[in-house]
Each structure stands twice: as C-alpha cells, then as structure tokens.
A and B are shown apart, each in its own frame.
Chain A
Amino acid sequence: MFGWEFPPFNSGGLGTACLGLTRGLKNNDIEVTFVLPRKVDLDVDFLKIVYGDDFGSIKKSYVINSLLQGYSTSESYEQRILADGEKKPVIYGRNLFEEVERYASIGGDIARNEDFDIIHAHDWLTYQAAINAKKVSGKYLVVHVHATEFDRSGGNNVNQYVYDIEKKGMEEADAVVAVSNFTKQKIIENYGIPSNKIKVVHNAVDFENYTLHEMHTLKKTKKIVLFLGRLTLQKGPDYFVYAAKKVLEYYPDVVFVVSGSGDMERAIIRKVAEMGMADKFIFTGFLRGKDIREAYHMADLYVMPSVSEPFGISPLEALNCNTPVLISNQSGVSEVINHCLKADFWDVDEIANKIVSVLKYGELQRCLRDNGSKEVKSLNWNDSARRCVDIYNDLLRRKE
C-alpha cells in the first residue's frame, strides 16, 4: 500500500484515513505493507511499514526525506522550500513534480522486494510509484481517490500535470475506490472513468472514548460556533464569515472560532475585521490532537461549509465529541450522516438560518447531538475495510 503520510505525522484527513483503513484491513485478516515516502518515527504494531533503513542495499530509496505533504499545491510547496530551505536538507528536487517522479522511481524497487497480491495507492502523489510497482510485479492495482485536483483547486486553475497523473493512475488501475458517491461522480465527469470501475468506500472514524473536559470558561457565557479546517478555497471559510455576519444580526451573543491555517488565513482575518466582527471571532491557528478535541467539545455547533469535500472526516470527529454539525451538501460525509444539518455551501442565508436555529432552539441542538453521536458510532473502519477486501477478491477472482 502506497501512502503519503501517517498519523501523528499528517497534515489532514488522508493520513487519518490510511491509519483507519490499514487497521481495519488488519482486523479483516489482510496483511499490509505500507510504504511511506519519508522516515518518520512511527510506533505502529499492526502493520509493516517499509522504511529504507530496513532494506540493505536499496535502503536509501525508501526514505525520501522530502517536504512533500498530501495537500501541497506546487506553489505552496515551493514556498515551503523557501521557508525551510535553510534548516532542512532537501535531498531531491526543488519542485513538487520532481519529487513525485523520484518517489515514483522507487515503486518498482519495492515491488521487487516485497511479497504481495494487490497494490493499493492513495491519491495522485503515489500513483506513479504504484504504476511502476504494477509494471514490475504484474499485480492488480487499486487506486484510492481521497480528493481530486478539482476539489483542491475549487474547479479553477486545475493543474494539468496533476490532472494527467490522476487520470493516468485511474486508467492504469484495475479498480478505482472513491471515498463517496460525490467523488465518484466527479471521477466519471472529469476523468472519463467508466462508472462500473469505480467503487465507493466511505471513510469511517475510529473512536477513542473521549473524556469530557472541564467546560471552557468561554462556553459558560457565550455560544460558540466552530470552523475547523484548512483555510483554503476548498473548505469555504469565506462562506463561514459571510454567514457569521448574518447570524450576528439575529443572535449577537455568539463567538465564532476559526481553527486552522492555510493560504486564505490573512484574507479571512482581514475580511472579518473589515466587516466589523473582530471582537466576535477567535483565530486559534493550526490545532493538533487534544486541542482539536477540546475545540469540538466547547463548540455548540461545528460548521463545515466546504465547497467541494470528497469525504470530510471532521464532522464525524465533532459528533463523537458530542457536538452537532452543519455540513455542506457538497461533501461525501453528507452521504453517511443523517442526523445533522445540511446546506449548500453558497447558500449563506440558509447556513445562517441553521446556525441561528441551533443556537436558539436548545431541543434542536440536543436532538442533533444525541442522535448524531449515536449514528456516528455505527460507522467503523472494519466495515469500510471489508468493502476493500471485497474489491480485492473480485479482482483476484478475475485471474482465475
């Protein structure tokens, strides 16, 4: 299995999904060898992680000490190189695409040295490595689409290079896994992949039992509405801000918390100030682990106004922290959760209407919370992994 990141060294949902899926596969008696592009200090006991250090002569090939992260765009990658360039050694090329090709080149080496039946690759950054692995081994290839270039770019400025790799990966693959019907539809429309080759496997979420923290002092006096996610076009933080303005006209006693960082961060902060809401907003910056849970806990409502969200695991995490959610219809997660509020991301009035309703009607908030947190517990990675196993078996049966 070719991945890109793995918790706790992840920048977003891709790593979390890989952890959940591999654990679920293990529980379905599937042995997974997980390939990561760079050496990280992981403590995982249920799957074999391939690092170059363990592999004698070709060891260097496995450890790609790159700056690549799952959600990079070419531009942000270059920015990061400029920022980090002094501190960190850059072994491979100075641009994202060179990196991807170098990662691709080790795909074949790994395939020669590992014993496996299926190649499973997550998102475009791994596709070329996986295609090479397929060429060397002749094994079936499954590509798993967590996001497409159309989601990341918001449909504008689709990067041709990335698109080409995505399309090639999907074409070379023997089966394409989409994280939602929403994504499946995009793959059909934008990449011309036949519908019957695409299988939907929804993401799930693994729950630790969160202990309730002491109530945040802020929550004792104010209602809190939370946005948590990267501040990029894809996540729709600007719609959150516009909706907040309307909410305040009807329900002034509320604080909007924005957690996350991204290329729109400054623009969003500026916009909030311009609209005269600086005293109503709190920007926490990027949060991790326990802080994320704390943020969910203290919120009265979690809002995910994504413009295009292939899946979107964060609402499930919020529900698991007993916080009701309002999510955009343009998301895969809206296919698996009934007990939530939904709106089109562009419908700022409707988003505001629903936010105010939750703040105003305590029964609504409680009902969403109780039913939603119950519903979310019925989702689990074992079931999603079982669907992947079915896909593997279908492919292997083809051979016979």
Chain B
Amino acid sequence: MVSICFYFQVHQPFRIRKYSIFDIGKNDNYFSDSSETNLNNERILKKVSEKCYLPMNALLLELLEKHPNFKISFSFSGVYLEQLEKYAPDALESFKKLVDTGRVEILAETYYHSLSFLFSRGEFYEQVKRHEEMVQRLFGQTPKVFRNTELIYNNELARVIESMGYKGIIAEGAPFILGWRSPNYLYSPAGTDRIKVLLKNYKMSDDIAFRFSEKGWKEWPLTVPKYAQWVNAVNGGGEVINLFMDYETFGEHQWADTGIFEFMRYFPEEIMKNPDNNFKTPSEVIDSYPARGVFDSPRFISWADIERDLSAWIGNEIQNAAIRKVYSLGFKILKAQDPELTEKWRKLQTSDHFYYMCTKWFSDGDVHKYFNPYQSPYDAFISYMNVLHDLELRTDEVIKKKILLAENLKENIYKEN
C-alpha cells in the first residue's frame, strides 16, 4: 500500500512599498503600493488569483466531487488569508468550498510566515495561536499537524511542537539530509515520544513543481501514466509519498499552457487505477502508519535553495542586521502596547522580506531574482530599514505619551489626596 499525501503551501507576504529616507516620520503606510510594479500587493494577489487560485480550486473541487477517495491538504499563512479577505473574497470562498468537502486538511503554521521560532519563542507561540484562531474562524477546523515557515526544522522545533499538542510535523526530505533513509516512511523526531515527522519526497515533488515544463529534462513531457508508474514503483518500498509544493506551482510557476492543469485533472484517476494506491491527508497518514525510525536533525534545515539551510534568509550581513533590528524592537513594541504598531511590527517579520535581501545570486540566484519584486537585494534592505526606523520613532512616541500620561495621573492622584 502506498499513500499519496499532497500538501500545498499558500502564502503571499505584505510586501513593503518603496520607502525612502524621506518617508520616515511622514508616512506610516508601509505595505500599500498602488503602482504597476510587483510591490503592489493587491495587484499581485488578484493576478495570482486569476492564474492559479481560482482555476486550481475549481479543478480540485471537481476532482474531490468526482473521486470520493481523493484528499489534499493546505497550509495557508495568516497574512495570505488576510489578503484574501481583503482583495479576493471570491478565492477565499472557493477555498472554503474545498474544505467543506471534508477531505481537505489544513495545517498549522505561524500567522506571519515568520522566522520567530529562531528569534523569539514568545512571538512564535503567539503567532501560531493567532493562526489557529483564524483557521478556526474561516474554515471551522483546528490544525493537528504543524509546518514551520519554509519547512525550517530541527529537533528542538519538533520537541516544542510535541509539547504544544500537535501529532505531527512536516520537514524537507532531500537526500543529503536523509542519508540512507527513504522519505517514503514516517519517522519519529529525535527526542520526542509521540509525534511523527512527514518528509517531503523531494524528487517526486520537484518533478511537478520545478521540472514539469523543463524541456531539457529527460523525462519531459511528464505524463500522468509515466508519473503513476513511478508511484507504483514505490509500492513495497515505502508507505507514503509526500508531495509538498507551493500552490502557485499550478498556473503561476508552471503556466496553464504547460499542461499542468491537465496533468492534475487526470492524476487521481490514473493513480487509483492501481488498487494498492490511495490518497491521505497528513493526519490520516500519521494515524495509518507507524514511525519506522528516528529522524535526527540537530541543525536547522529548510526546503529552500540547493543548500536546504537558512542561508536564503540569514546568509549575509544585511539580512542579519535587518532581522536583529526587527526582533530587538520587540521590547519597545511590548512596552508601547499599541495594537496597530504591534500588527505592523509582526507583518515586518514575514520571512519574505529577508529572502528579498538574499545576495547569493550566482548559484541559486535565478530563483531569488524571479521572486524578488525589488530591483536588488540592497533596495529591499533600504526600504525595510527605513520602515523599521519609522516604526521605532512611532513606538518611541507612544511610549513617551504613556509615560507622560502615567505621570499626570500620579500627579492628579497626589493632588487629590
């Protein structure tokens, strides 16, 4: 028996508009950009909705209705859902319809798609909680399996996730991480008792997500029967094939004219031609199969770039400076207790901001360039730091006002007495 486990990542950050030194102290509108560029969040969300979310959701709904055993899972970032509510309510509705079939599982993550696990444990808990509340509000589901931003993972995270009550966690399964182990089994994270880790089958995931339209690839064109053969070949040598990828694979990274939608249209049917194959959500996989070994990752891994480490976000000096700065502001934010400023501060923690500052352009560079709405990583850094500067000024003001207020209050009480 082999189970196909689909998990699609859906995320869009609140990109920072071009924010110059001259905006500091004058403009507290960090995220709204009405230009024709890729810094205009509303424009991007609408564009990707047309190309990916709406058509792919329609297709998945059709497949779920047609095949009662077809199952999938999603992980939505909170900042993504927030933008859907604001800019594309029709796409949100179509996601709800999918979830209403009862065969769509939603995973847990940090609301702000942040690196908070690395830099502020308090923030991490808070953001996971906020995410859970939002998923509950919009979809009526409480997530049971956790996936961290960009599949950033280590043993400690698994232990924390276990202590938070989840029954599973998701991680990258590239060969140099796994060694001789196969990603097609469940494992028990080192140092945990109950939870299980699902590892991404990186080859079979990337065959769809990255290589599908690559004409130089020897397997091109990738047909469903061919792919089904690969799935069948796992039978006997594995229990689950974890196909984890960005949802934008469908229609945005791989355009409609590559045939990606047609590929998915015939996928469930072809896979289920073999009675030994089925579809399961992450929770079902965890309930169905035992852990076959221990997965030990003392160091941080992720699903990004060829290095599969943290270097896409904290690989250079500007990224480190920006991250240090935003988390060091936490103390003041806490002190100011201003909901609006706190919200902005959290949106500035989204990992994409740091990804845009990545300067490893010469090996993995193309991907970074493709996903970078700024002219260069340096431009991303400048806007980001200027925004932080402004946020700090405003926070300082609030704190000052609060202190003044408290002093006045004290004085009045003193007078009255």
Contacts and interface: CB of A to CB of B under 8 A. Distances in A.
Interface of A: 246, 250, 338-342, 349-350, 352-354, 356-357, 360-361, 363-364, 366-368, 371
Chain B residues touching A, range: 10 to 19
A338 B376 contact: yes
A349 B19 CA distance: 11
Interface string B37-77: 00000000000000000000000000000000000000000
B385 A361 contact: yes
A339 B375 CA distance: 11
Interface in B314-348: 316-318, 320-321
A341 B376 contact: yes
B381 interface: yes
The residue among B378, B382, B386 with the most chain A CB atoms within 10 A of its own CB is B378
Contact of A342 (B20, B22, B316, B375): B375
Interface string B361-378: 100000000000001101
A357 B375 contact: no
B1 interface: no
A349 B22 CA distance: 8
B20 to A, nearest CB: 4
Contacts of A342: 375-376
B322 to A, nearest CB: 8
Contacts of A352: 21-22
Nearest to B361: A338
A340 B377 CA distance: 10
Interface of B: 20-22, 316-318, 320-321, 359, 361, 375-376, 378-379, 381-382, 385-386
A250 B316 contact: no
A103 to B, nearest CB: 43
Given A339-B359, A342-B375, A342-B376, A250 B318 contact: no
Contact of A363 (B22, B318, B376): B318
B76 to A, nearest CB: 33
Nearest to A341: B378
Given A338-B361, A367-B318, A371-B359, A349 B20 contact: yes
A353 B321 contact: no
A368 B317 CA distance: 10
| A-B residue pairs, 4 tightest by C-beta | A363-B321, A353-B20, A363-B317, A357-B382
A354 B316 contact: no
Contact of A364 (B20, B318, B375): B318
A83 B265 CA distance: 81
A367 B21 contact: no
